[in-house]
Structure 1
Amino acid sequence: MHVRYFKEEDCHSLRDIYLVSRKQTFNWFDTSGYSLDDFDRDTEGEKILVADYEGAVIGFISLWLPDNFIHHLFVHPAYSKKGVGKMLLNAAVTMLHKPVTLKCLTRNENALAFYRSQGWQIQERGEGKPGDYFLMSYI
């Protein structure tokens, strides 16, 4: 398993991961309107790193470089809790300038526990269109 930069041929796999993961994770939302095309819109202009396992894309992290902000981190559910998220997060933190920030929905307890276990700290609570979130930072 390794992390590499996004290639155009990764799009199909990343669209699928983004759709499947969000539908499974955000079970408190009505996800019926989610589509494969959401990935393209939601990561436009971002730097994307992918986790590759024996030629298969199994996860990604997207970064908004001007703000040292992690926008998305998703791992295919079949590879959950196998170190993929940690590997992607570490690769992103290495290439960004500290402090690095991200937002985590307050109801996403698994993600919140994961980020905290990796040394991230809650800076503030906010309200957004998808729901209440914590702004977290890694210093």
Structure 2
Amino acid sequence: MRDLLLGLAFMLLGAVVLTVASQYPTMASLQYGPSLFPSLIGGGFLIGGLVLSATQLPTLKRQLSGTDANVGNIFDLRSVLVSLLPIALIIFYIFASEFLGAALCLAIIMFVLMLVRKTSLPLALLVSFVASLTIYFLFSRYLLIPLPEGLLNFWG
């Protein structure tokens, strides 16, 4: 059931990305424009979600008909919430990165994911801090990709 719901969530997210990307302007001199990569990502989400959902339909049918031994285990709320956590954290990054900054948002996201996977608190703090700073400096200083600095504007 968890994979079915996760597949449906990815299909919904892919459809939203495709809808938003289709509204991007096109460039007359190019055959592709700024909507190319978001459309590819949205299409990948849509197809991946469809495949994930379709592979779970026979299992769901067995569970609902009562021929499966795990009939009582159709819906496990914690598993569904853990499966949807990465999507929620991506949405958190989208809304909070301008205010908090990319480095701090990445650290929070990694810390939460590590705690959910039952990593010890000191290790989760250390790894999320070091990894987020490493990713931030690689992207902003070496690849010259402008990332939101947010509250940590003193690095400039």
TM-score of the pair, normalised by structure 1:
0.32
Q: Which has the higher strand share?
A: 1
Larger radius of gyration: 2
Q: Which has the higher helix share?
A: 2
TM-score of the pair, normalised by structure 2:
0.30
